[in-house]
């Protein structure tokens, strides 16, 4: 069963309420247990009054023993209800924490790649994880620290009514005034809690970023510099934490003063009524017990309400970052892309990353199924943008891209990417074994199919020379391997994926020329029945390709085979000659 998506854009309360409604039966049972346990606790106070009055009265009948039996039974029932509520609360809160993280991750991975370039991975991960913790803290606070004092308050009003109507009204008025005042006070400090949440996440993300780049820190003698930089971030976070914390302390101080006055007044009032013989000793006992219970319960309630606001502020901060509107979205009911051959068509495509500039300008291109084409051009010409648009990492602003006659913007994104096997210039691997990283391209592949793909990518040899072979862990982002080794594994992963279109975005840039040419020849032979689009820097490696596309300033300026373009004497020929002389492609422009 597909679960309904949470409301990411309607605020923290709507987001939390979505999960509560999703498990309404468990929450109803949980709240019933807590209310029952709190009701038993307040009933114990009244039974204590009956017990005291029975002991203070004539020693006749079984009143004392009946009251004592009820007293003991209520204690047992209260204890059982608290234990059962703890068991159920544990199960439902943890389950919702799992759902919440999965939902946030599911929404997060629908963001465009620019979003991940603008937000630290560590910061996003921390927000995602902490939100589940904030929900758990919020649920625990409301269920176990807000509901019981509310039951105590209602129960106290009922019991005070049996003692003295005026005392009940005074208690109700005092507690309501105090609670409303603290709620207003707490809401006014909400911005401090949100500021602390944002600073804590920012500092945590920055710390992870520094740890991830520890090689650069050491290589550029930046240990002290980075420590000082982190110290500034931590100081800012600490200042925000102090402001949030001290605001809570102010609320506690105001509450303590108000409750001290209320408790003292109630006790003096009760003793005065007893001295006039208007109430019994049991009434004085129950008023004393309930006054102090309300004193401590309302203090817990006030602090819990502040904590509730703080946790909601944390969740709201996360939703403000992770819940940003997605810019690349599937249309409702979008069909799956059926890629049966691998023909690609760009029709008058326009795209720009900003309002004032276009990276792709009216680009039109037909790539027949099974054709091997190379994409070349100077830096910033639009080559990587071309392959990003084909993957629909961004949506085109004008024009259309089709695969086997189907417009990619009208089909489901996941089905589109199933039709593509991509090897980017910067290969990032999971901190898993080499076998798992290659098999990531096709999880159901056999070991022999993985070995075959590795041999085709010319990486089987170095893998087997590693200590544990294909079971070797590659380290975070593949740090234990060289750039060239990572690229070969990335190519093997793409070879293994049974996709009709393979995209190589400068996928062999970390290899030497001989190894790169071997890989490109393997691409032509192994991928003989697939469409191959290769962005390459070294032009000689594309000699065996069917066709070369030269892009400059977002437009196709040359199109043909290597021999045809060499004969024309245009930009491709100039780039070829300059590379032969040891100069870069950019110097040809």
- Whether the CB-CB separation of 537 and 506 falls below 8 Å is answered with yes
Higher pLDDT, 353 or 507: 353
Contacts of 229 (CB under 8 A, 6+ apart): none
Least trusted range by pLDDT, from 173-187, 227-241, 525-539:
173-187
- Whether the CB-CB separation of 586 and 574 falls below 8 Å is answered with no
| Domains within the chain, CATH numbers bracketed | 12-322 (1.20.1560.10), 371-397+408-588 (3.40.50.300)
What's the pLDDT at 1? Answer: 43
Beta-strand relationship, 547-552 and 372-376: parallel
Q: What CA–CA distances, in Å, run from 199 to 202, 422, 481, 513? A: 5, 37, 35, 47
Residue 277 Rama label (left phi>0; alpha psi -120 to 50; beta): left
Angle between helix 147-163 and 281-322 (nearest 10): 150
Instruction: Identify the CA nearest to 195 among candidates 231, 228, 236.
Output: 236
Whether 215 shows a pLDDT value over 70: the answer reads no
Angle at 221 (CA atoms; ends 216, 224), nearest 5 degrees:
105
What's the pLDDT at 583? Answer: 52
Cα 159 to Cα 167: distance, rounded to the nearest angstrom: 10
By residue count, the chain amounts to 589
Instruction: Identify the CA nearest to 199 among candidates 232, 236, 228.
Output: 236
361-385 per-residue burial string, b: 16 or more CB within 10 A, e: under 16: bebebebebbbbbbbbbbeebbbbb
Helix (H, G, I), strand (E, B) or coil at 164: coil
- Whether the CB-CB separation of 429 and 486 falls below 8 Å is answered with yes
Question: How many Cβ atoms from other residues are within 10 Å of residue 5's Cβ?
Answer: 10
Least trusted range by pLDDT, from 71-75, 444-448, 503-507:
503-507
What's the pLDDT at 349? Answer: 92
Whether 205 shows a pLDDT value over 80: the answer reads no
| pLDDT band for position 511 (cuts 50, 70, 90) | low
Beta-strand relationship, 398-403 and 406-407: antiparallel
Least trusted range by pLDDT, from 148-157, 501-510, 556-565:
501-510
Question: How many Cβ atoms from other residues are within 10 Å of residue 218's Cβ?
Answer: 10
What's the pLDDT at 582? Answer: 60
Whether 33 shows a pLDDT value over 90: the answer reads yes
User: What strand order describes the sheet that includes 398-403?
Assistant: 360-367, 344-351, 398-403, 406-407
Cα 274 to Cα 280: distance, rounded to the nearest angstrom: 6
| pLDDT band for position 273 (cuts 50, 70, 90) | confident
What's the pLDDT at 509? Answer: 64
- Whether the CB-CB separation of 295 and 255 falls below 8 Å is answered with no
* pLDDT cut 70: percent of the chain above it: 91
Written as six digits, the tokens of 313 are 């502020």
Instruction: Identify the CA nearest to 389 among candidates 350, 418, 426, 429.
Output: 350
3-state helix, strand, coil in the chain (%, to 5): 65, 10, 25
Mean pLDDT for all residues in the chain: 82
Mean pLDDT value of segment 376-395: 87
What's this model's pTM, rounded to 2 decimal places?
Answer: 0.67
Mean pLDDT value of segment 118-136: 80
- Whether the CB-CB separation of 18 and 6 falls below 8 Å is answered with yes
Residue 582 Rama label (left phi>0; alpha psi -120 to 50; beta): left
Token match 């920012």: residue?
A: 202
Helices and strands (H and E) in the chain: how many: 20, 10
Mean pLDDT value of segment 321-346: 85
N-term to C-term CA, the chain:
57
Q: What CA–CA distances, in Å, run from 576 to 514, 516, 560, 568? A: 17, 16, 14, 12
- Whether the CB-CB separation of 449 and 496 falls below 8 Å is answered with yes
Three-state SS string across 242-268, please? HHHHHHHHHHHHHHHHHHHHHHHHHHH
Cα 579 to Cα 516: distance, rounded to the nearest angstrom: 15
Token match 């004393």: residue?
A: 288
| pLDDT band for position 181 (cuts 50, 70, 90) | confident
- Backbone phi and psi for residue 351, each to the nearest 5 degrees, phi listed first: -160, 140
| pLDDT band for position 584 (cuts 50, 70, 90) | low
- Backbone phi and psi for residue 82, each to the nearest 5 degrees, phi listed first: -65, -40
Cα 106 to Cα 129: distance, rounded to the nearest angstrom: 13
Mean pLDDT value of segment 454-467: 86
Beta-strand relationship, 501-505 and 344-351: unpaired
């Amino acid at each position: 069963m597909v679960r309904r998506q949470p409301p990411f854009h309607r605020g923290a309360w709507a987001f939390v309420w979505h999960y509560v409604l999703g498990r309404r039966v468990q929450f109803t049972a949980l709240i019933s247990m807590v209310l029952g346990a709190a009701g038993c606790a307040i009933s114990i106070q009244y039974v204590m009054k009956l017990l005291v009055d029975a002991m203070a009265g004539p020693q006749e009948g079984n009143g004392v023993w009946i009251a004592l039996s009820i007293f003991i039974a209520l204690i047992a029932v209260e204890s059982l209800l608290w234990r059962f509520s703890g068991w159920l609360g544990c199960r439902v809160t943890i389950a919702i924490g799992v759902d919440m993280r999965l939902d946030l991750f599911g929404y997060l991975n629908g963001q465009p790649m620019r979003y991940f370039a603008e937000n630290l991975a560590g910061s996003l991960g921390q927000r995602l994880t902490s939100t589940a913790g904030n929900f758990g803290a919020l649920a625990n606070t409301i269920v176990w620290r807000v509901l019981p004092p509310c039951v105590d308050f209602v129960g106290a009003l009922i019991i005070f009514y049996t003692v003295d109507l005026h005392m009940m009204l005074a208690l109700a008025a005092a507690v309501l005034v105090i609670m409303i005042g603290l709620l207003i006070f707490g809401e006014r400090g909400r911005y401090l809690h949100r500021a602390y949440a944002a600073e804590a996440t920012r500092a945590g993300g920055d710390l992870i970023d520094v740890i991830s780049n520890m090689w650069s820190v050491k290589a550029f003698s930046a240990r002290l510099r980075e420590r000082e930089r982190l110290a500034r971030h931590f100081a800012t976070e600490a200042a925000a934490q102090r402001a949030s914390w001290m605001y809570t302390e102010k609320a506690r101080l105001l509450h303590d003063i108000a409750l001290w006055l209320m408790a003292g007044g109630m006790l003096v009032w009760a003793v005065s009524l007893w001295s006039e013989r208007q109430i019994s000793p049991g009434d004085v006992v129950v008023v004393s017990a309930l006054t102090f219970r309300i004193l401590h319960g309302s203090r817990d309630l006030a602090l819990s309400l502040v904590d509730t606001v703080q946790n909601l502020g944390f969740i709201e901060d996360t939703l403000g970052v992770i819940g940003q509107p997605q810019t690349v979205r599937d249309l409702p009911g979008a069909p799956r892309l059926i890629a049966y051959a691998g023909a690609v068509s760009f029709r008058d495509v326009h795209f720009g990353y900003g309002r004032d500039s276009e990276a792709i300008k009216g680009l039109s291109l037909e790539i027949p199924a099974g054709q091997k084409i190379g994409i070349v051009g100077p830096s910033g010409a639009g080559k990587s943008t071309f392959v990003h648009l084909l993957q629909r990492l961004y949506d085109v602003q004008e024009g259309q891209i089709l695969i086997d006659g189907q417009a990619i913007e009208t089909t489901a994104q996941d089905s589109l990417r199933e039709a593509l096997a991509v090897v980017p210039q910067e290969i990032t691997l999971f901190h898993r074994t080499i076998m798992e990283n290659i098999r990531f391209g096709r999880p159901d592949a056999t070991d022999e199919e993985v070995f075959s793909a590795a041999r085709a990518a010319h990486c089987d040899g170095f893998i087997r020379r590693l200590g544990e072979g294909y079971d070797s862990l590659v380290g975070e982002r593949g740090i234990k391997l060289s750039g060239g080794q990572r690229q070969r594994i990335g190519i093997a992963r793409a070879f293994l994926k049974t996709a009709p279109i393979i995209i190589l975005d400068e996928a062999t840039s970390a290899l030497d020329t001989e190894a790169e040419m071997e890989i490109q020849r393997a691409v032509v032979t192994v991928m003989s029945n697939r469409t191959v689009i290769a962005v390459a820097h070294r032009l000689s490696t594309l000699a065996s390709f069917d066709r070369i596309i030269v892009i400059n300033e977002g437009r196709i300026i040359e199109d043909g085979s290597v021999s045809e373009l060499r004969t024309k004497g245009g930009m491709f020929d100039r780039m070829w000659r300059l590379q032969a002389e040891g100069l870069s492609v950019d110097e040809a422009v």
